[in-house]
């Protein structure tokens, strides 16, 4: 009996990256949004632009800033190359983050894909570390004080926080050792980790038989050759991403403030935008809770996610079901209302120290808000499950969306609505 699938001839290198045949329905752009391939393209762009920058950059406190200035003003296409590297790094954070959201919202972390979920978490961590270490290298006022703020947060980690801080900055304050450490991590350690994790990530996808089929229960699946159907789509998406990065880099210059001055801090002093949500948490929670408890709980939940046993685990379906979509919209709207209100109340109205005088700060700004938050989230989970007659997985997804939108609101607040003294201000002030 003849096969219903097309014959594959001349199998080559591309079939080590993709299965010979893929379900036709997974070729839809809205199934994956091309985020995984876009992340790979951006990593390659970062490597190429980073190598070019190494020809001009000098990783010493005396020469770092002048070398960046010379690069932008004296070298042909120097400003464009720096713009490509700077904005490419920011694009990469967005793309990898949204890629992980796509994996979560389509349930592509269960069963045989759990190892790849952990690898993805490691890759996202590498991207954040790369951005964080690269942020300091221009050694201007903006980068120097942003890294000062971020490294100071390590002090609030119990027992080992101060030790970690000293190891990272190479002493008690940011200086020559810090720049050397950050440069080595940025140009050697992180690329090495990416070079190890990325092929393993692709291999795990290949091992798991490619992308998850969202309609495997619909009956007979029509498959097509990955070449050219899948490969041409990936190539087109790569070209679009490269064009978008070049256009953005031409229109917008990478920021560069005055040379770093350890004796004069800007007001306000803010962390890089991808850590602004964490900095904003410090305005409302005790540092122990904001810097250690909440991140530790979040990372632990993400690691343990594939082990959760749900009533229904249909991989490949966005938001699990139509009911899940409705719950997600309701959760997002609720967060968009509650988060700004709680920020304003925390800033101007609520003062637990006056309500319960004599209580230690760690209890007032740490234990009490944390307990109230947990109680609220448990109640929100139960209400959403009952109101929508939802499964456990749909309920967890609703809570996740609520927390995600809250964190986005915190990040936006920290970036655009914090002025001198970290006071709340309007965007136009």
Using alpha carbons, select from 277, 425, 405 the residue that is nearest to residue 344: 425
114-136 vs 141-152: helix crossing angle, rounded to 10: 130
CA distance 204 to 116: 6
Cα 363 to chain centroid distance, Å, stands at 30
According to the model, what pLDDT value does residue 112 have?
A: 75
Residues in the chain: 429
Which ranges constitute the DSSP H helices of 260-367?
276-281, 287, 294-304, 322-348, 352-355, 361-362
Contacts of 11 (CB under 8 A, 6+ apart): 20
| Phi, psi (rounded to 5 degrees) for 170 | 70, 30
Q: What is the pLDDT, as a whole number, of residue 284?
A: 85
Measured distance CA(352)–CA(339) in Å, rounded? 19
Whole-number Å distance between alpha carbons of 414 and 423: 10
pLDDT value at position 13?
46
pLDDT (0 to 100) of residue 3: 46
Domain with CATH 1.20.810.10 in the chain: 19-212+225-254
DSSP conformation letters of 257-288: -SBP-TT---SS----GGGHHHHHHTTTS-HI
CA 57 to chain centre: 27
* Close Cβ partners of 324 (under 8 Å, ≥ 6 residues apart): 390, 393, 394, 397, 398
Helix (H, G, I), strand (E, B) or coil at 223: strand
Residue 71 has what pLDDT?
95
Helix axes 161-169, 176-184, angle to 10 degrees: 90
pLDDT at 217: 46
Q: Which pLDDT does position 207 carry in this prediction?
A: 74
CA 265 to mean position of chain CA atoms = 28
**Lookup: tokens for 295:** 């991140």
Residues 6+ apart with CB under 8 A from 69: 256
Task: Confirm if 274 and 427 have CB atoms less than 8 A apart.
Answer: no
As to burial, measured by CB atoms within 10 angstroms (0-12 exposed, 13-18 middle, 19+ buried), residue 180 is middle
CATH code linked to domain 19-212+225-254: 1.20.810.10
| Blockwise average pLDDT, block size 10, the chain, 429 residues | 47 58 74 87 96 95 95 94 97 95 86 86 96 95 93 88 89 90 95 93 75 54 77 88 96 94 89 92 87 90 81 67 91 95 84 57 69 89 89 88 95 93 82
Res 4: pLDDT: 44
183/206 Cα distance (integer angstroms)? 34
């Amino acid at each position: 009996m003849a096969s219903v699938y097309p014959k594959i001839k001349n199998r080559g290198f591309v079939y080590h990256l993709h299965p010979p045949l893929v379900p036709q329905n997974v070729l839809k752009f809205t199934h994956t949004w091309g985020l995984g391939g876009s992340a790979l393209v951006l990593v390659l762009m970062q490597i190429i632009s980073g190598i070019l920058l190494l020809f001009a950059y000098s990783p010493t406190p005396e020469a770092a800033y002048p070398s960046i200035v010379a690069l932008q003003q004296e070298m042909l296409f120097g400003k464009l190359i720096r713009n490509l590297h700077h904005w490419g790094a920011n694009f990469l954070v967005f793309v990898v983050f949204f890629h992980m959201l796509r994996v979560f919202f389509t349930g592509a972390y269960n069963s045989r894909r759990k190892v790849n979920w952990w690898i993805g978490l490691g890759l996202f961590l590498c991207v954040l570390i790369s951005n964080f270490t690269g942020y300091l290298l221009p050694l201007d006022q903006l980068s120097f004080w942003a890294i000062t703020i971020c490294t100071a947060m390590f002090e609030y980690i119990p027992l080992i926080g101060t030790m970690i801080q000293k190891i990272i900055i190479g002493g008690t304050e940011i200086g020559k050792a810090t720049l050397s450490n950050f440069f080595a991590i940025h140009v050697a350690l992180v690329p090495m980790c990416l070079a190890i994790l990325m092929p393993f990530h692709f291999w795990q996808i290949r091992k798991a038989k490619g992308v998850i089929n969202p309609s495997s229960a619909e009956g007979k699946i029509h498959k097509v050759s990955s070449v050219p159907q899948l490969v041409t789509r990936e190539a087109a998406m790569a070209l679009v991403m490269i064009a978008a990065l070049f256009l953005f880099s031409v229109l917008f210059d990478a920021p560069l403030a005055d040379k770093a001055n350890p004796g004069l801090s800007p007001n306000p002093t803010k962390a890089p935008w991808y850590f602004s949500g964490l900095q904003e948490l410090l305005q409302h929670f005790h540092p122990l809770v904001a810097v250690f408890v909440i991140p530790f709980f979040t990372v632990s939940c993400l690691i343990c996610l594939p082990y959760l046993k749900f009533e229904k685990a249909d991989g490949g379906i966005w938001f699990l079901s139509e009911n899940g979509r409705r719950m997600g919209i309701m959760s997002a709207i609720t967060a968009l209302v509650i988060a700004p209100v709680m920020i304003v109340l925390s800033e101007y109205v609520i003062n637990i120290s006056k309500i319960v005088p004599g209580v230690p700060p760690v209890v007032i700004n740490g234990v009490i808000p944390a307990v109230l938050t947990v109680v609220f989230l448990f109640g929100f989970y139960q209400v959403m499950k009952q109101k929508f007659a939802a499964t456990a997985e749909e309920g967890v997804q609703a809570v996740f969306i609520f927390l995600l939108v809250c964190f986005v609101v915190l990040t936006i607040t920290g970036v655009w609505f914090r002025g001198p003294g970290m006071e709340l201000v309007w965007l136009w002030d």
